[in-house]
Structure 1
């Protein structure tokens, strides 16, 4: 299952189409961000992942869309790690894509932006979650921290791209 969550100008708690991931922020006046799912093929947005689509293994970090640029990457990892990302252009959003497998919950955070989100990972099922963050300061370099039990294997791709406009939470 692949999901792509978009965090708008203000970062808020994001509940994805499935309750497997959410984002947290310390920003008290944050708005609900736009949401969409993302197929495993870059550049294709769909309402749900196709049942015929097989999710890639965590051995392969998630892919970015064709219009997004690579800022950092981490291959298959167990347990905790920090992943550095390079500086971006002003106006671009930060994309944090995580693929995980194994029983347990992991927490992904970008402390410099005060953004974090938990992911529930499952045994025997590889899932990918994309979060896009478009807030002040996102163009700076930094790191993404992952806190995960040793039972969970994960990989990550960090990218940069044009922010996607927020959609209404009630949009189909």
Structure 2
């Protein structure tokens, strides 16, 4: 399971009514397959390169066992686009991006009409999982990435059951 906690900057760039997202900036216990909670949206897992067992921007992120592969792009620098396959009606689209290098990349997903920026850092590998659970994501499409040549990125696009939103909890404020 990927863990999710706190709001991420990525949320601001997503189409708010389409998806929700959160982020966890801690190192995962199993970085090659970070865990996912029942919250829809995205999770970010960061790791320092060179540590044994840590993810590398060379290899695309892995999907959970119950998710199916729709498309994958190995290590790339600069701009690129690639197609992903059609899914089952009702499945969510999962866009998992791993990057390293100083700069910001922009990811656009068609036909979902969704895009989001990611800030990549020179001294760490970041992996971000985004889930889109809106009508039309069952169709095949294209993911386009705009990235400076200083950033190395890889990506996995998958399909899976939409995550269930957790009910909001009431909190009281003491004065």
What is the deviation of 1:3?
Answer: 7.1
Shift of 1:157: 0.3
SS at match of 1:113: coil
**Structure 1 residues 49 and 131, CA, compared in 2 at 3 Å: closer, same or farther?**
closer
Distance 1:130 1:48, change over 3 A: closer
Which whole-Å CA distance do the structure 2 matches of 1:75 and 1:151 have between them? 16
- TM-score scaled to structure 1, two decimals? 0.76
Please, what TM-score do these two structures have when normalized by structure 2?
Answer: 0.75
Deviation, 1:85, is 0.4
Aligned to 2:63: 64
CA contact (8 A) 1:35 1:167 kept: no
- Equivalent residue number for residue 80 of structure 2: 81
Matching residue of 2:33:
42
**Cα distance in 2, alignment partners of residues 169 and 53 from structure 1:** 39
Equivalence for 1:152: 151
The secondary structure found in structure 1 opposite 2:157 is strand
Q: Which region of structure 1 is more displaced relative to structure 2, 159-168 or 99-108?
A: 159-168
Please list, as runs of the form range in 1=range in 2, the aligned pairs for 1:1-172 lying within 5 A after superposition: 15-16=7-8, 19=9, 21-22=10-11, 23-25=13-15, 30=17, 33=20, 35=22, 37=24, 39=28, 40-42=31-33, 44-45=35-36, 55-167=54-166
Residue in structure 2 matched with residue 9 of structure 1 by the alignment: none
Q: Quick one: structure 1 residues 111 and 45, their matched pair in 2 at CA, closer, same or farther if it must change by over 3 Å?
A: closer
Residue by residue over 1:79-112, the C-alpha shift from the partner in whole angstroms, topping out at 9 and shown as x without a partner, is 0011210000001000000000000000001131
Structure 2: runs of 5+ lacking an equivalent: 38-42, 171-175
Deviation at 1:163, TM superposition (A): 0.3
What displacement does 1:166 show? 1.7
Bigger share in strand: 1
Residues 106/168 of structure 1: CA separation in 2 closer, same or farther (3 Å cut):
farther
Q: What per-residue deviation string (whole Å, max 9, x for no partner) do you get for residues 138-167 of structure 1?
A: 000001110000110000000000000123
CA distance 1:74–1:50, shift in 2 (3 Å): closer
